[in-house]
Each structure stands twice: as C-alpha cells, then as structure tokens.
Amino acid sequence: MNCVTLIMVTASFLSWTAAIFHHSKKGKEKALQYLVEPPVYAEVTSRRGENVTLPCVLRIKPSHYRVKWTKVDPLHRGVENVVLITNGHADKHYGPLGPRARLRRAHALDISLLLSGLQLEDDGQYRCEVINGIEDESVDITLRIDGVVFPYQSSSGRYKLSYIEAKEACREQDGTLATYKQLYRAWTEGLDWCNAGWLNDGTVHYPILDPRPACGGDLPPGIRSYGPKDRTQEHYDAFCFTSTTEGVVFYVPGPLDFSEAVHACREKGANLARVGQLYSSWMFLGLDRCDGGWLQDGSVRFPIRTPREHCGGIPEPGVHSFGFPSKSLRLYGAYCYR
C-alpha cells in the first residue's frame, strides 16, 4: 500500500467514525444506522437552468422504509416542503420542485435526488430522510446556486421600496431577493454598497469593505445590519440575486433615446435587457463595454470587467449606473437581450 492510499484509507476511516453522530431533529446526537453521513457542510453548487444531483446513500437497506426528500425553509421553521416521497415502488412528487425531481437510483443503495432545470429559488438546504417506522434518520445537504448579487434602486429614488415592492422589483429584473448568505458571499467577492436594501428574510443590510464615515462610521469592514424591518411601513432599496441566463446581452450603439432603444432591440429580434440579465452577462460571459446603454427599466448602465483609462476615470470592475435619465435624452446606446 503506498502512502497516498494509506492516507485515503485513514481519512475514510476517520470520516466513517466521525460520521457516526448526526444531529437528529430532536437536537440530540444520534448514531446513523441507515444513512451514510455526508462530509461536514456538504454543499453542491450549480447554476440556473442546469441539472444537479443531491447525494444521499443508504448504508443498509431496511426491510420496509420510505424515503422523503424535503426542502428546509429557514424562514418558516416547522413548515415541511416535501419534494418527493417513495416507498421503493412508487414515487410521489410534491410542490413546485416535485415535477423537476426524481431519484437517481444509480445502484441499490442510491437514494440521491436529481433536480433538473434549476431555478433561483431552489437555492437552500435539503433533507434526505429514511422513515422505517422505528427510527427515522436524515442528513442535510446544501444546494448553492452560483450567481451574482446586485443592488437595485427604484426609478423614483433611494429608499422607495417596501418589502413586497423590493421582491417584485427583483423579479422584474430577472432575479430574486438575495439571501443573507448570498449577500455575504458577494461581499467576500468585493461588493461594497452604501445603501441599505431588503433581503428575502425581511431584514435590511448593506455590505461595506471600505469603511467610511457615511457608511456606518468606524466599524470594521462587514455587513451592516438594520435587522428585521416592517415589511409594509418601511422603505429601502433591494439586494437582488441572479444566475446564468439562456440568452445573451449585446450592445447596440447610439445615440438613441429610450423608445429608439426599444426599437433597436426589436429590429434585432431582441428586447431591452433587464438589469439582472446585464449582471449575468457581465459575471458569467465577461461582458465588458465602456458605453452607457438603456435597459428595460429605463436605467442606463455599463459593464466593466477590466478597469482602464478613458472610461469615465478608471472605474472598478462592476456594472456601473447612470441612474434613470430622462427617456428623451439621446445620448446612449442600448443593451439588448436575446
């Protein structure tokens, strides 16, 4: 046995013994009898539109059992979002994920879940549960949708969106309200934004990398929190999340006013891009242009990957905004999505 094999055997022995305990639903440590414990913090990463496998494997097969896959909803604890239940013979599908879910069954002990056509909302924690009537067991696995977080402000100005309006604004821009985890990750990747925005759990935050007096004062870099806010009475901006799209964004040179921009895209069999689509093309397809262009919401933006001179100073990488200029202004091109 060479050294590498030895290390692998030792590691797998360790994970076998370390894996024996699993936090059960009742909160007490419990030995797993039927399920193989996944690695600590098991996470599967994928993108919108793709197919993914959430692994779950039986150690031994109980004589009678059912397998239940659920999505754990941290916002509504106690609510069980069942995706699929099988008794080994027949599978039943439930909820919005049901039609896109099936068991992989790659071998006799495989109860992994296949999810097809991933959507932004599929991001989150999943639970694979074996029910045999005596001792139920479960393991959790996280599905992370790889994407990009973008701040969004109403065309009527800063801090104009209630929670519901923020949710709707993100949807209109081809996104969802970001989770705290998504905002946190975006902050680690460089997002610094001095306006507070809604997250999907009804809290309000903003991410700061470069502390300055106007943005939380002398606090160290981090996510500034306003905590949970009144969803109907209070108004902020939004942090939206999006991932890959089926189409691509392309630029049509101006100068065009807003309605000319609409037509310019139509002539090319496209529509003015939504903000999320521009961010997606910037993030995943490397879209980089030093030209302001109209978007569907009436804002004007430009995507920069590689900072350079002669582009309004040397802008940081990112999607930059000129806000919402008058729609009759004939100064910009158009970003179209097809």
CB of 76 to ligand NAG, least distance (A): 29
259 sits near ligand NAG (criterion: CB under 6 A): no
Distance, in Å, from the CA atom of 96 to the CA atom of 122, rounded to the nearest integer, reads 10
Tell me the residue type at 128.
C
CA torsion, ordered 157, 158, 163, 165, to nearest 10 deg = 10
Q: Which is nearer to ligand NAG, 51 or 87 (CB)?
A: 51
CB of 94 to ligand NAG, least distance (A): 18
SS3 30: strand
Q: Which is nearer to ligand NAG, 53 or 125 (CB)?
A: 53
Q: Which is nearer to ligand NAG, 10 or 116 (CB)?
A: 116
Give, as ranges, the residues between 103 and 122 that touch ligand NAG (CB under 6 A).
116
Q: Which is nearer to ligand NAG, 97 or 208 (CB)?
A: 97
CB of 116 to ligand NAG, least distance (A): 4
Distance, in Å, from the CA atom of 313 to the CA atom of 300, rounded to the nearest integer, reads 18
Distance, in Å, from the CA atom of 50 to the CA atom of 209, rounded to the nearest integer, reads 32
In the structure encoding, which two tokens stand for residue 289, read together?
């242009």
Cβ pair 58, 34 in contact under 8 A = yes
Give the bridge partners for 80, in sequence order.
Answer: 72
Q: Which is nearer to ligand NAG, 45 or 51 (CB)?
A: 51
Distance, in Å, from the CA atom of 270 to the CA atom of 327, rounded to the nearest integer, reads 20
Distance, in Å, from the CA atom of 1 to the CA atom of 143, rounded to the nearest integer, reads 36
Cβ pair 86, 98 in contact under 8 A = no
CB of 103 to ligand NAG, least distance (A): 12
Give the bridge partners for 113, in sequence order.
Answer: 54, 103
CB of 101 to ligand NAG, least distance (A): 10
CB of 51 to ligand NAG, least distance (A): 4
CB of 84 to ligand NAG, least distance (A): 14
User: How far lies 29's CA from each of 145, 257, 296, in Å?
Assistant: 30, 64, 53
Cβ pair 324, 317 in contact under 8 A = no
Q: Fill in the per-residue mask, 45 to 84: x = in contact with ligand NAG (CB under 6 A), - = not in contact.
A: ------x---------------------------------
Q: Which is nearer to ligand NAG, 96 or 312 (CB)?
A: 96
Q: Which is nearer to ligand NAG, 46 or 70 (CB)?
A: 46
CB of 83 to ligand NAG, least distance (A): 15
Number of residues that bind ligand NAG (CB under 6 A): 2
CB of 114 to ligand NAG, least distance (A): 7
Q: Fill in the per-residue mask, 270 to 309: x = in contact with ligand NAG (CB under 6 A), - = not in contact.
A: ----------------------------------------
SS3 312: coil
Q: Which is nearer to ligand NAG, 51 or 326 (CB)?
A: 51
Tell me the residue type at 202.
G
Q: Fill in the per-residue mask, 9 to 48: x = in contact with ligand NAG (CB under 6 A), - = not in contact.
A: ----------------------------------------
Q: Which is nearer to ligand NAG, 116 or 259 (CB)?
A: 116
- Kindly report the length of the chain: 338
On the 0-12 / 13-18 / 19+ scale of CB atoms within 10 A, 161 is buried
Residues that bind ligand NAG (CB under 6 A): 51, 116
